[in-house]
């Protein structure tokens, strides 16, 4: 089994914002795989299906970004899910808009959703895909920036980034994460 957690904030007020690219990627992958992410479980919206002979579980924490670890821990404990099978998808200020970066461990890097997951799982070692949103212009508040919508001019970059993230996720279902990183980083 692989379980994929896209980070974001629930509610229409946050749909389409930079902080919600993790949700956007999960929605796109769900559409690709024919999975409905509509069941409410473990403080998350959950959908289950199969792809490439692998059981796939998609999660969108409904806890708001800063408490994402509660949903991850709740799912892990209830379903005895293994952290080695987890992939977290989230927005990253230090990655250029439109680019993705895969890692299997690391600090939170100032991302509160990742900080919460590290706190609730007790480890920094879990697979992740960072989706680039770049940094704001100097003087702009970071919170305002991540909660803002993408500019229309960024739409093609974002669409391509979401497709590439889904390609990496699908590849990871039948290949090791090391192989996935080698193929999709760079």
pLDDT digits (tens, 9 = 90+) for 84-115: 999 999 999 999 999 999 999 999 999 999 99
User: What's the CATH code of the domain at 142?
Assistant: 3.40.50.1470
Question: Does residue 82 carry a pLDDT above 80?
Answer: yes
- Give the pLDDT band (50/70/90) at residue 186: low
Q: Which two tokens stand for residue 124?
A: 């920094």
Burial of 107 (0-12, 13-18, 19+ CB in 10 A): exposed
Instruction: State the residue range of the domain holding 40.
Output: 2-184
- Confidence (pTM): 0.97
Mean pLDDT calculated for residue range 159-181: 97
CA distance 88 to 130: 8
Active site residues: 19
Question: Does residue 3 carry a pLDDT above 90?
Answer: yes
Q: How many domains does the chain have?
A: 1
- Largest distance between two CA atoms of the chain: 49
Q: What are phi and psi of 4, to 5 degrees?
A: -120, 120
Question: Does residue 125 carry a pLDDT above 80?
Answer: yes
């Amino acid at each position: 089994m692989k379980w994929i957690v896209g980070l974001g904030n629930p509610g229409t007020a946050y749909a389409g914002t930079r902080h919600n690219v993790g949700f956007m990627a999960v929605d796109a992958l769900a559409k690709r795989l024919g999975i409905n992410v509509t069941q409410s479980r473990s403080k998350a919206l959950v959908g289950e299906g199969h792809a490439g002979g692998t059981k796939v579980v998609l999660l969108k924490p409904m806890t708001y970004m800063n408490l994402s670890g509660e949903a991850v821990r709740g799912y892990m404990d209830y379903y005895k899910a293994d952290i080695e099978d987890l992939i977290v998808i989230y927005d990253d200020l230090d990655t250029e808009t439109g680019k993705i970066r895969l890692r299997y461990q690391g600090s939170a890097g100032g991302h509160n959703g990742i900080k919460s997951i590290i706190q609730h799982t007790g480890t920094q070692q879990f697979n992740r895909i960072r989706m680039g949103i770049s940094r704001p212009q100097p003087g702009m508040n970071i919170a305002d920036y991540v909660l803002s919508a993408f500019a229309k001019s960024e739409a093609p970059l974002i669409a391509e980034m979401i497709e590439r993230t889904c390609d990496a996720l699908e590849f990871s279902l039948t290949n090791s994460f090391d192989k996935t990183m080698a193929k999709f980083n760079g």
